[in-house]
C-alpha cells in the first residue's frame, strides 16, 4: 500500500486530496491503561494516543478509534486500522471520501 515497507514503521502522516476525496494515513503509538485519554502529535509527525481501556478484546482499539474520530471531527466509520491491530504501533487510515 502506497509503497510502504511492511516491516518498517517509519513516521508517516499523509494527506491526499483527489477531487472531493480526502484520505489521511497516520502512524500512531497507543498507550493503553492510561490515566488520561488524549491524542498528541509528536515531533516526527506521528501521533501518540493514550486510552483508559486495557489492551484486551479490542477495547483499546475501539477507544483509539473513538478518540481519533473526536480529535479529527470525523465519524468513527471513516477510520480503519490497517496495520498493528495487536500491537502498540498502528497505521490508521481516515477516509472522508
Cβ atoms within 10 Å of 13's Cβ, excluding its own:
15
The mean of the pLDDT values for the chain is 85
pTM over 0.85: no
User: What are the chain's domains?
Assistant: 26-95 (3.30.1200.10)
Over residues 1-41, the pLDDT tens digits come to 444 444 444 445 555 555 556 889 999 999 999 999 999 99
What is the grid cell recorded at 59?
A: 477495547
The answer to whether 75 and 95 are in contact (CB under 8 A) is: no
Amino acid at each position: 500500500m502506497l509503497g510502504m515497507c511492511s516491516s518498517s514503521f517509519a513516521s508517516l502522516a499523509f494527506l491526499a486530496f483527489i477531487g472531493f476525496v480526502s484520505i489521511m494515513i497516520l502512524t500512531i503509538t497507543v498507550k493503553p491503561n492510561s490515566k488520561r485519554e488524549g491524542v498528541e502529535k509528536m515531533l516526527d509527525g506521528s501521533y501518540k494516543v493514550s486510552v483508559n481501556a486495557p489492551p484486551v478484546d479490542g477495547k483499546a482499539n475501539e477507544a483509539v478509534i473513538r478518540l481519533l474520530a473526536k480529535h479529527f471531527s470525523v465519524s468513527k466509520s471513516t477510520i480503519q486500522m490497517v496495520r498493528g491491530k495487536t500491537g502498540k504501533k498502528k497505521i490508521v487510515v481516515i477516509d472522508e471520501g
